[in-house]
Structure 1
Amino acid sequence: MATATSPRPLRGTRIVSLALNLPGPAALMRLQQLGARCLKVEPPGAGTLPSGRPAPGDGMAWHSPQAYDQMHAGVRTLTLDLKSERGRARLATELDRAEVLLTSFRPSALARLGLSWRALQRAHPRLSLVEIVGAPGERAEEPGHDLTYLAESGLVLGTELPPTLLADMAGALLAVEATLTALLQARASGRGAHRQIALSEAAIWLALPRTWGLTTPDGVVGGAYAGYRIYPCKDGRVAVAALEPHFFARLAHVVGLPAPDARTPFTPEARAAIAAWAAGKTRRQLDALASRHDIPLYTLGQENP
């Protein structure tokens, strides 16, 4: 996370966002941390939150007030009804002063609001547009969410939900990258640039290690390598990441294995020896051994949080 001393290379850059929910606000949070002056435009809300404060027009405030507050720290918010002439006129005023517009609407919805790329070029020729969509090209009109994009890319195993919103958060970083690229191009040419990033493609990017076979069960970081696995211990679990030969050699020494060669980490005997070693140790003992012998591992409790 950014700190008070973090570099702020986007100081003075004005960014307006219409993007709701998670990827857009997460991207805006990162851009604000880089120094940009960020304005988030939200539709009118309805009712009040459980805390009693008025509900913003972004549903994330209902799903997780903590997430909403953190993503909007340092971001100015403005409520506008973009279906009204007055709301669109106020947005146009803000866009006159901005360098980038960030959106997460379907392209047809942007067009209905008069915010298609062609319309923006006419009205605000120096403004760049960064669109977050679900899927690229003609599929941009399809409904979808993080879960469907992860499922499509092979990152949903069994019936358990993924532990976090991988496509959304990766998509947010791609949106930041697209914003920086658009700014560079626009400042070089004097005209705004158009970038579109798709959450489905963010999921595909995250799935590449699995596509390459690295994280499948027979892959080197998918379970086949004894030094890169999660083992039970006396009072929890230990995530062992002794991947490089010198780290595995230290692990083998502590476990009591003979001096390993390149094949040793892939043998059932190595996995069984490390499993038995871990099962007889507490988390505190494992942490101490890791520190003493410079072994990359991390101990965990009995249950996933």
Structure 2
Amino acid sequence: MNAPHSNSLTHKSLKGIRVLTLALNLPGPAAVMRLQAMGAKCTKLEPMPMTGMKPADPMGIYKPAAYDVMHQGLKVLQADLKSERGQTSLHKQLAKTDVLITSFRPSALVKLRLTWKELHKRYPSLCVVSIVGAPAERAEEAGHDLTYQADTGLVNGLEMPASLYADMGGSLFTTEAVLQALLLRQRSGHSQGQGVFHQVALSDAAAYLALPRTWGLTLASGDVGGAHAGYKVYPCKNGRVALAALEPHFARRLCEAAGLPQQAAMQMHKRSTHTAIAQFLTTQTRAQLDKLASSKDIPLHTLPR
């Protein structure tokens, strides 16, 4: 199975860059998946698995298919970093690494002798990207994607979020941090390039993705939260339709297709306009709406019930 991004990152701009990752679960591996697609040579050092369990990464246990996608083509090694033998294996890799990615709490990095101060002294040109749950003094707090989303207002009622937004947003922040670190190292003026440290917080990624809600855009009173009749999910004759006729020219085409008077396109927040569009859509099948979208250039996507 190919990674979903495999056709979008074709320039191999990171060819020759060596990345070592110690990060488990989702944010780190998802970031490495993208770095590989950019041409980086990536190696992962996982903990030694428990007896009868393989791999040691929790993702490989509770969702092997996702683990396989993110680790396709990735060189995976195993080592107990708490042992001298494991430390030897780690530093053998670090000696030929441009960027190290970790996802440990700061206290664990101290125990493993992997603080930025120690690593920078030993490997001056090494860049380090540290993934944590929350920044600064909150980095030691226990947390997960769900708690970070909840903290930023992305959890509604008792429903689970549609995706792991903090984790996936964190993976993009991590990729961005790697690129920033490499660019800054290149600009350092040192013959070998001075390594750079970046900390990426999943809570920051969740807060960034939550900005449209913070601004009120996706609240019920917002135009992309349901207040605009052209930007909603409606039932249709044999399914549902995600309608996104937000801009005035799209709204005009929608109202025309629905047989509404011309002024309705200027009254997309009125209850009567919502009702009229809803009634029209209940008479249309998914096939009819798909054809309408194509012929009239109206942004919509039909869905099963």
Name the TM-score class by shorter chain: over 0.9
Query: What CA distance in whole angstroms lies between the structure 2 residues aligned with 1:37 and 1:3?
Result: 18
Structure 1 position 179 matched with structure 2 position 183: no
Partner of 2:257: 254
For each residue in 1:161-181, what CA deviation from the matched residue of structure 2 results, as whole angstroms up to 9, or x when unmatched?
A: 001101000000000000000
For each residue in 1:6-45, what CA deviation from the matched residue of structure 2 results, as whole angstroms up to 9, or x when unmatched?
A: 1110011000000000000001101011100000000011
For each residue in 1:236-283, what CA deviation from the matched residue of structure 2 results, as whole angstroms up to 9, or x when unmatched?
A: 100000011111100010001111366411111111011001111111
Of residues 212, 215, 226, the one that matches 1:212 is: 215
Once the 2 structures are TM-superposed, how far is the Cα of residue 90 of structure 1 from its aligned partner? 1.4
- For structure 1, list consecutive stretches of 5 or more residues without a partner in the other structure: 50-54
For each residue in 1:141-196, what CA deviation from the matched residue of structure 2 results, as whole angstroms up to 9, or x when unmatched?
A: 00000000000000001001001101000000000000000011112211100000
Name the aligned partner's letter for residue 15 of structure 1: V
Of residues 19, 24, 40, the one that matches 1:15 is: 19
Name the aligned partner's letter for residue 252 of structure 1: C
Query: What CA distance in whole angstroms lies between the structure 2 residues aligned with 1:103 and 1:282?
Result: 50
Partner of 2:282: 279
Q: TM-score, normalised by structure 1?
A: 0.95
Query: What CA distance in whole angstroms lies between the structure 1 residues aligned with 2:176 and 2:170?
Result: 10
Once the 2 structures are TM-superposed, how far is the Cα of residue 5 of structure 1 from its aligned partner? 7.7
Query: Contact 2:255–2:265 at 8 Å: present in 1 too?
Result: no
User: Aligned in 2, Cα 1:4/1:138: closer, same or farther, shift over 3 Å?
Assistant: closer
Partner of 2:122: 123
Structure 1 position 226 matched with structure 2 position 229: yes
Deviation >6 Å, runs of 4+ = none
User: What is the Cα-based RMSD across aligned positions, in Å?
Assistant: 1.2
Query: What CA distance in whole angstroms lies between the structure 1 residues aligned with 2:226 and 2:9?
Result: 40
Q: TM-score, normalised by structure 2?
A: 0.95
Paired residue secondary structure (2:104):
coil
Paired residue secondary structure (1:238):
strand
Aligned length: 297
Query: Contact 2:252–2:265 at 8 Å: present in 1 too?
Result: no
Paired residue secondary structure (1:247):
helix
Paired residue secondary structure (2:262):
coil
Once the 2 structures are TM-superposed, how far is the Cα of residue 4 of structure 1 from its aligned partner? 9.0
Partner of 1:203: 206
Paired residue secondary structure (2:178):
helix
Partner of 1:52: none
Partner of 1:109: 108
Partner of 2:34: 30
For each residue in 1:96-146, what CA deviation from the matched residue of structure 2 results, as whole angstroms up to 9, or x when unmatched?
A: 111100000001101110100000011111101101100000000000000
Of residues 188-197 and 172-181 in structure 1, the stretch that sits farther from structure 2 once superposed is 188-197
Name the aligned partner's letter for residue 19 of structure 1: A
1:142-161 matches, cutoff 5 A: 142-161=141-160
Give the percent of matched residue pairs that are identical in Structure 1 and Structure 2.
54
Partner of 1:93: 92
Query: What CA distance in whole angstroms lies between the structure 2 residues aligned with 1:269 and 1:204?
Result: 36
Partner of 2:47: 43
Query: What CA distance in whole angstroms lies between the structure 1 residues aligned with 2:96 and 2:249?
Result: 56
